[in-house]
């Protein structure tokens, strides 16, 4: 009996260690964060100070939405300026416009919190 209780306790302990803490629920892959930071730094003339500021921005975004939501919304915003029929998929539908607008507002808020000027 004691042995089975110990096994249950150790299994529960191991499961709690493997489960991500609530703060990491919206954890992004490292490559996704690096891509964001590099693109952000490039927009600001590659200045080293933006390494930290842009990292701050993606951390703020990650607190607000899952990685899948981030990819969907940032893609919607990025491709709204695409010309032709393919661009129409990102320019015309109201839900896509709404997603792009929501992401743009979230990014602006994160930029402001991290002292990153809009470009």
Q: What is the pLDDT of residues 23-64, one digit of tens each?
A: 455 789 999 999 999 999 999 999 999 999 999 999 999 999
What would the two tokens of residue 13 be?
A: 């302990």
SS (HEC) of 13-48: HHHHHHCCCHHHCCCCCHHHHHHHHHHHHHHCCCCC
* Cα(1)–Cα(24) distance, integer angstroms: 36
Note the pLDDT of residue 4.
43
For the four alpha carbons of 11, 13, 17 and 21, in that order, the dihedral sign comes to positive
Q: What's the mean pLDDT when you consider all of the chain?
A: 83
* 59-81: average pLDDT: 94
Q: Which residue has the tokens 């032709």?
A: 84
- Contact in structure between 115 and 49 (CB atoms under 8 Å): no
- pLDDT of residue 10 exceeding 50: no
| Global model pTM greater than 0.85 | no
What would the two tokens of residue 3 be?
A: 């042995």
On the CB side of 53, CA atoms within 13 Å amount to 20
What would the two tokens of residue 115 be?
A: 């002292």
Note the pLDDT of residue 25.
57
- Contact in structure between 50 and 44 (CB atoms under 8 Å): yes
């Amino acid at each position: 009996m004691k042995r089975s209780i110990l096994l249950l306790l150790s299994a529960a302990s191991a499961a709690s260690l493997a489960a991500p803490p609530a703060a990491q629920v919206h954890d992004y892959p490292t490559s996704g964060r690096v891509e964001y930071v590099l693109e952000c730094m490039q927009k600001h003339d590659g200045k080293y100070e933006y390494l930290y500021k842009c990292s701050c921005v993606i951390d703020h975004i990650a607190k607000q939405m899952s990685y899948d939501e981030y990819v969907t919304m940032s893609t919607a915003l990025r491709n709204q300026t695409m010309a032709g029929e393919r661009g129409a998929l990102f320019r015309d539908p109201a839900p896509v416009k709404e997603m792009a607008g929501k992401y743009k507002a979230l990014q602006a808020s994160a930029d402001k919190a991290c002292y990153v000027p809009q470009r």
